[in-house]
């Protein structure tokens, strides 16, 4: 404790002061939605805080961390260390520290504006960042958080601010939490033949950047941009900001949770309510020959510098569907321009990628829908100077522009004729 804060504490004691936090004494808390941190050490004199991610591997990779730090003297420089030397997967195998240690941490003093720290210093399974903070409280996280309350607030805001957006609850989770979602379209679709697009994020709870990409997409979609207006007139767009609400709420990673995670849960008897409901809606859209695109938003491994698409293994993609897929990717490529263009290479989710590959959502689309429906995964890199709320939302807008460009031609050659 500094001399000043000691004096404050002494004065407070004399005056029976009810202050809950001694000014100047650093204190970590994470018992709030999405929070995850176990304190390793707080060195009050060195103004250094050390934590471990605290997720339970049963609920997914314990790479996510997010905590609040009180007791900062405004203007001082704080040193933050994350120790990732004991990360385990649910099967007991070690999880690489790379997943938990971004080059730049996310920080905020109001939980609205999230910024990146300067690059940290990595030493094997730990990393250290420093940040000068002009507030008494700050929040630090693996990446910019996007919580169930943010999904609720976003869908409500879009609904309120646009006559073309309608918020709805996709379902309730196993733990009883609401899964907020939204549809966007403009003008009459009286005969119900309009093309349908489905965009969803966060089947893996720790991949918070995916929700920010989705937010950028949805906010662009209700905007006055003539190309957003054009897309709204041609298509009905469904958007789910967070599929795995429960693990996002509890600060767990979600990926590879027991018995299977949301993106390995697309099969008939899935236990996840968000998937059950999404599948029902997608099947209904497909039966009415409306579903033309399904995009699943994720964050990839630590070493990806650019956004990229995961496509289904060739054995799952019919010739006809492949042509649509290529055309969609080409349309996106012309929108994902510098400074953060799409990776040239595509990656493939086949049997080598994961033994449960056929239960991946985009692969379910490829196996169960009409040949003109593109089912694809967009992975947005999280370990770059662009991997912040601004960069993620930019990628979301570009996805919207890519979809608009792609859907200027209706891919349903064999489907119902359009007006």
Residue ranges in contact with Zn ion by CB under 5 A: 204, 207, 298
Among 23, 5, 127, which residue's Cα sits nearest to residue 65? Answer: 127
Given 186, 207, 256, 379, the catalytic residue:
379
Buried b / exposed e over 229-265, threshold 16 CB at 10 Å, is: bebbebbbbbbbbbbbbbbbbbbbbbbbbeebbbbbb
CA 200, CA 223: separation in Å to the nearest integer?
19
Has 81 been annotated as catalytic?
A: no
Ranges of beta strands (E only) in 267-385 are 291-298, 308-312, 347-349, 374-379
Tokens of 171: 């379902």
Shortest CB 143 distance to Zn ion, Å? 13
Shortest CB 274 distance to Zn ion, Å? 15
Residues whose CB falls within 8 Å of the CB of residue 228, separated by 6 or more in sequence, listed in order:
220, 221, 222, 400, 404
Shortest CB 255 distance to Zn ion, Å? 6
Shortest CB 29 distance to Zn ion, Å? 28
Q: Give the nearer residue to Zn ion in terms of CB position, either 210 or 316.
A: 210
In contact, 352 and 258? CB cutoff 8 Å: no
Greatest extent of the chain over all pairs of C-alpha atoms, in Å: 82
Q: In what order do the strands lie in the sheet with 115-116?
A: 27-29, 66-70, 137-141, 106-108, 115-116
CA 127, CA 125: separation in Å to the nearest integer?
7
In contact, 121 and 127? CB cutoff 8 Å: yes
In contact, 251 and 64? CB cutoff 8 Å: yes
Shortest CB 181 distance to Zn ion, Å? 19
Whole-Å CA distances, 131 to 48, 52, 115, 117: 11, 18, 11, 6
Q: Is the peptide bond before 123 cis (omega within 30 degrees of 0)?
A: no
Shortest CB 342 distance to Zn ion, Å? 18
Q: Is 198 exposed, middle or buried (0-12, 13-18, 19+ CB in 10 A)?
A: buried
Shortest CB 296 distance to Zn ion, Å? 8
Q: Give the nearer residue to Zn ion in terms of CB position, either 63 or 84.
A: 63
Catalytic residues: 379
């Amino acid at each position: 404790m500094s001399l000043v804060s000691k004096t404050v504490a002494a004065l407070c004691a004399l005056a029976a002061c009810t202050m809950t936090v001694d000014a100047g004494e650093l204190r970590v808390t994470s018992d709030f939605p999405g929070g995850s941190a176990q304190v390793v050490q707080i060195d009050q004199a060195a103004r250094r805080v050390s934590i471990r991610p605290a997720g339970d591997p049963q609920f997914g990779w314990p790479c996510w961390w997010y905590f609040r730090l009180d007791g900062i003297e405004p203007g001082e420089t704080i040193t933050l260390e994350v120790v990732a030397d004991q990360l385990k997967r649910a099967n007991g195998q070690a999880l690489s520290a790379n997943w938990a240690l971004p080059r730049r941490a996310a920080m905020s003093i109001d939980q609205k504006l999230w910024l990146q720290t300067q690059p940290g210093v990595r030493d094997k399974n730990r990393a250290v960042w420093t940040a000068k903070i002009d507030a008494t409280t700050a929040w630090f996280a693996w990446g910019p958080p996007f919580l169930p309350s943010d999904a609720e607030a976003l869908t409500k805001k879009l609904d309120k601010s646009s006559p073309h957006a309608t918020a709805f609850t996709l379902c309730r989770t196993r733990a009883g939490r609401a899964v907020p979602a939204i549809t966007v379209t403009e003008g009459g679709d009286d005969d119900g033949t309009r093309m349908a697009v489905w965009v969803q994020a966060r089947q893996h709870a720790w991949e918070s950047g995916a929700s920010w990409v989705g937010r950028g997409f949805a906010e662009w979609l209700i905007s006055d941009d003539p190309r957003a207006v054009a897309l709204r007139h041609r298509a009905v767009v469904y958007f789910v900001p967070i599929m795995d609400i429960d693990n996002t709420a509890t600060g767990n990673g979600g990926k590879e949770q027991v018995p299977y995670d949301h993106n390995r849960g697309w099969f008939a008897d899935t236990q996840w309510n968000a998937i059950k409901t999404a599948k029902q809606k997608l099947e209904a859209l497909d039966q009415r020959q409306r579903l033309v695109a399904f995009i699943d938003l994720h964050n990839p491994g630590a070493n990806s510098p650019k956004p990229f698409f995961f496509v289904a293994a060739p054995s799952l993609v019919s010739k006809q569907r492949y042509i649509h897929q290529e055309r969609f990717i080409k349309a996106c490529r012309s929108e994902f321009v510098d400074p953060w263009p799409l990776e040239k290479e595509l990656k493939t989710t086949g049997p080598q990628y994961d033994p449960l590959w056929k239960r991946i959502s985009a692969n379910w689309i490829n196996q169960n829908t009409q040949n003109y429906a593109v089912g694809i995964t967009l992975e947005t890199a999280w370990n770059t100077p662009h991997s912040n709320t601004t960069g993620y939302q930019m990628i979301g807008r570009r996805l919207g522009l890519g979809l608009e460009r792609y859907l200027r031609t209706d891919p349903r050659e064999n489907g119902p004729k359009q007006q």
